[in-house]
């Protein structure tokens, strides 16, 4: 039986979770996020490969590599959400289903955060549910991948 896999991508500054602006992002760490996503995936028979980088090219390379062995991508692009056309293009280019997740509600924050360049590349959007939103994004994406929900 082939292992079903998701790529979990966390963008710049998400390595600071737990200490960076806890009033906005909470006190859970990146390790907590990765564990939450992995547990949600495991409950459905999937595994998660995680990548976090403060360098856009590293994220692009991981997304490109996902074509070879992943069934979908869960991504919190961090600040790249609002600036990166190339990240959007990479997500569209690999042709995998994508879930976009944000810990805070970007629509309730500064105006420049209201636009997401990756929104149209994603079929699942989970915004403003804290780190537990990662479990929801994983579950909903797996539902689409396995044909239990429309994408």
Can you say which residues are annotated as belonging to the binding site for substrate?
76, 82, 89, 103-104, 113
Per-residue CA distances from 71 to 32, 47, 95, 141, 142 (Å)? 23, 10, 10, 10, 9
Query: 3-class SS at 128?
Result: coil
Beta bridge pairs of residue 10: 52, 76
Catalytic residue among 25, 64, 114, 115: 25
Report CA dihedral (121, 126, 132, 135) to the nearest 10 degrees. -50
To the query of whether residue 25 is one of the catalytic residues in this protein, the response is yes
Catalytic residue among 55, 102, 114, 134: 102
Alpha-carbon distance 87 to 58, whole Å? 11
Positions at the binding site:
76, 82, 89, 103-104, 113
Alpha-carbon distance 114 to 25, whole Å? 17
Which residue numbers are catalytic? Answer: 25, 102
């Amino acid at each position: 039986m082939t292992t079903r896999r998701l790529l979990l991508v966390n963008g710049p500054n998400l390595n600071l979770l737990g200490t960076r602006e806890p009033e906005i992002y909470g006190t859970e760490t990146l390790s907590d996020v990765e564990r939450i996503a992995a547990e949600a995936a495991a409950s459905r028979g999937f595994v998660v490969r995680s990548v976090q980088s403060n360098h856009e090219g590293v994220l692009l390379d991981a997304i490109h590599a996902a074509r070879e062995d992943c069934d979908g991508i869960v991504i919190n692009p961090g600040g790249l959400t609002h600036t990166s056309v190339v990240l959007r293009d990479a997500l569209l280019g690999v042709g995998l289903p994508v879930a976009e997740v944000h810990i805070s509600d970007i629509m309730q924050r500064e105006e420049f955060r209201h636009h997401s360049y990756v929104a149209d590349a994603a079929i699942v959007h989970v915004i403003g549910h804290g780190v537990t939103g990662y479990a929801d994004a994983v579950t909903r994406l797996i539902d689409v991948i396995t044909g239990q929900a429309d994408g």
